[in-house]
Amino acid sequence: KNNLGIIYKHGIGQEIKKEIGWAIEYFKEAIKYGNHCISMYNLAHLYFYEKPFKNSNEESIKLLINSSKQNHYPSKFLLCIVSIYEFGNNINDIIQKLKKIESISNELTNSIIDIFKWSWYIIINITPLYIAAERGNKDIVELLLSRSDVDINLKAILILI
């Protein structure tokens, strides 16, 4: 059912047109019969980006919390994005507001905090380097990769640039 949801969410050329209503139904069926974190993620993603009804972001958050409880990292990451969109960028406010919508464990709270920390790390350290590389200045990336005092996590990301 999840795969049918994906097909109707995006459509396939001229053969199958995009049908958000059908996609929602197929994702809901997949969740009902299997409680699959990927189907919850896909439905939450659809709710957030397509906005098929009022308060769709709150429903998206509920789905993402539940799929995150199954340790599905993409759900945790999207939960952070939706939460920032809905509640602003204060991590303490976000955690409190999420707890009002659905119960979250300390483990999930810590995961959200870690994602926020890592995201800021990327924004501060990686984005300028990516822009430089996109503009043709790959020398800075190669220089940082060759240095021993550059953080290993930063080097891992630089390789992708």
- The CA-atom distances, in angstroms, between 84 and each of 46, 69, 124, 152 are 17, 19, 17, 28
Which tens digits make up the pLDDT trace of 24-42?
999 999 999 988 999 999 9
**Which residues does 11 contact at the CB level (< 8 Å), separation at least 6?**
17, 18, 19
Instruction: Report d(CA 106, CA 86) in Å as an integer.
Output: 21
CA dist., res. 151 & res. 118, Å (int): 13
Residue 122 neighbours by CB under 8 Å, 6+ apart: 157
Please report the pLDDT score of residue 140 as a whole number: 66
- If one compares 91 and 44, the residue with the highest pLDDT of the two is 44
Q: How many helices (DSSP H) and strands (DSSP E) are in the chain?
A: 10, 0
Q: Kindly write down the DSSP assignment for every residue of 117-153, as one continuous string.
A: HHHHHIIIIIHHHHHHHHTT-THHHHHHHH-TTS-HH
| pTM of the entire predicted model | 0.74
User: Per residue in 98-132, pLDDT tens?
Assistant: 999 999 999 999 999 888 887 776 655 655 665 66
pLDDT of 158 higher than 60 = no
Q: What is the DSSP secondary structure assignment for residue 16, as one 8-state letter?
A: B
- 129 in Cβ contact with 141 (< 8 Å): yes
d(Cα 76, Cα 19) in Å, to the nearest integer? 27
